[in-house]
Amino acid sequence: LVRLRQRLAGSQGGFGRGLLALLSRDRLDEDTWESIEDVLLTADIGVAATQQVVEGLRTRMRVEGGAAPDARTALREELVKLVDPAMDRRLQVSGSDGKPGVVLVVGVNGSGKTTTVGKLARILVAEERTVTLGAADTFRAAAVDQLATWGERVGVEVVRGNEGTDPASVAFDAVKDGVDNGVDTVIVDTAGRLQNKAGLMDELGKVKRVIEKQAPVTEVLLVLDATTGQNGLVQARVFSEVVDVTGVVLTKLDGSAKGGIVVSVQRELGVPVKLVGLGEGPDDLAPFDAEAFVDALLG
Ligand code: GDP
C-alpha cells in the first residue's frame, strides 16, 4: 500500500495536489472554480463527472457563517465518492464443481496484456493457487515467447500453439490441460488485434464458447493503458460491446498524469477497475483500492 502511494504520488500527485491548492485559496471566485474544472477535465475524469465534483465542492465550500470547511476533507470525500468504493473489486478466480476458474484477458496490443497475465499468475501462485496459462495470442510469436518466459519465471505451465494456430484451439487446450490437472485457475491471454468489431466479436466469441464447453469463464479482464486517455476509452467500449467485461486492469498508471481515467472508464463501462499496473516489474500489479488511490492523488 505504501508502495502504491509512492508510485501514484510520484507521478500524478500533481492532479490531486493541484486541486487542493486551488480549493485552499481564501476566496473561491469564478476564476478559481474554472481552474478547478480545467484540472479535472485535463485529468481525464470526463465532463459529467467533472460537473458533479464541482457542484459537490461548491455546495460544501459555501461558508455559512462559521469557518470555511476543511478543503482537504471536502475534496477527499468528493473524489472517493467519484471512484465509488462500493463497487465489488474481488477477482473471481475460482471455479466450481472441481473445475478451474477461467480468467480471460482481453485488450489491444501494447496495452500490457501479456505482462498483466504474468503478474497475475505470480500473485495467484503466491496465494498458493495452482495456475495454467494459455498463450492464445497466436498472431504474434513474440507474445507467445513473452508469456512462456513469464511461465518459467513464475513456475507455471504455459499451453501454447504454433504461430498462426487458431486462438480458440489454444484456449481450448489450455483449459483442458487445467481441467485434467485439477488446477485452480486458468488465465488465457488473447489476441488484441482491433481489426474491426465483427472480426473481434467472432474471435473472442469463439474463444469464450470453446472454453465454456469445459469450465466457466469466471472473469473477463479488460486491460487498458492509462496513458491512452480518451482514445483508450473508445477502444474499451468496443471490447465491452463484444464480450461481457467483468473488470478493468488499468496499466501504466505509474507513467500517467491522468489518473482520472479510473473514473471515466468505470462510468463508461459500468464495471470496476480491479487491478492497477504500476511498473514493468513482476511485483508491479496491485489490487485497486479507491480510498488509497484518492489519498495517493492528494499526496
Ligand atoms: P500486450 O501487447 O498488450 O500483451 O502488452 P505487453 O504486456 O507486451 O506490454 C507492452 C509494454 O508495456 C511492455 O514493455 C511492458 O513492460 C509495458 N508495461 C506493461 N504494464 C506496465 C505498467 O503497469 N507500467 C509500465 N510502466 N509499463 C508496463
How many Å apart are CA 261 and CA 253, to the nearest integer? 10
In the reported structure, the alpha carbon of residue 235 is separated from the centroid of ligand 1 by a whole-number distance in angstroms of 17
In the reported structure, the alpha carbon of residue 34 is separated from the centroid of ligand 1 by a whole-number distance in angstroms of 36
Only one residue has cell 478547478, namely 36
Judge if the beta carbon of residue 109 lies within 6 A of ligand 1: yes
For range 104-132, the mean pLDDT: 95
Taking Cα atoms as reference points, which of 16, 68, 67 lies closest to residue 45?
16
pLDDT at 209 over 60: yes
Query: Does residue 76 sit in helix, strand or coil?
Result: helix
Q: What is the model's pLDDT at position 298?
A: 84
Q: What percent of the chain is predicted at pLDDT more than 90?
A: 65
Q: What is the model's pLDDT at position 150?
A: 96
Which residues make Cβ contacts (< 8 Å) with residue 157, sequence separation at least 6?
A: 132, 133, 151, 177, 181
Name the pLDDT band for 4 (thresholds 50, 70, 90). Answer: low
Judge if the beta carbon of residue 279 lies within 6 A of ligand 1: yes
- Residue-wise pLDDT for 150-176, tens only, equals 999 999 999 998 777 889 999 999 999
- Specify the higher pLDDT residue, 68 or 267: 267
**For the CA of 143, the nearest atom of ligand 1:** 4
In the reported structure, the alpha carbon of residue 280 is separated from the centroid of ligand 1 by a whole-number distance in angstroms of 6
Amino acid at 101: G
Q: Which residues on neighbouring strands pair with residue 164, listed in sequence order?
A: none
**For the CA of 223, the nearest atom of ligand 1:** 3
> Do 283 and 251 touch, CB atoms closer than 8 A?
no
- Residue-wise pLDDT for 65-74, tens only, equals 556 678 899 9
The binding site for GTP consists of 107-114, 189-193, 251-254
Name the pLDDT band for 137 (thresholds 50, 70, 90). Answer: confident
Q: What is the model's pLDDT at position 269?
A: 95
pLDDT at 242 over 70: yes
pLDDT at 221 over 90: yes
**For the CA of 108, the nearest atom of ligand 1:** 3
Q: Give the Cβ contact number of residue 55 at 10 Å.
A: 11
Judge if the beta carbon of residue 169 lies within 6 A of ligand 1: no
Q: What is the model's pLDDT at position 5?
A: 58
Name the pLDDT band for 8 (thresholds 50, 70, 90). Answer: low
280: left (phi over 0), alpha (psi -120 to 50) or beta: alpha
In the reported structure, the alpha carbon of residue 12 is separated from the centroid of ligand 1 by a whole-number distance in angstroms of 19
In the reported structure, the alpha carbon of residue 35 is separated from the centroid of ligand 1 by a whole-number distance in angstroms of 33
- Residue-wise pLDDT for 23-66, tens only, equals 988 888 999 999 999 999 988 888 999 999 999 999 988 765 55
Only one residue has cell 460544501, namely 60
- Residue-wise pLDDT for 275-292, tens only, equals 999 999 999 999 999 998
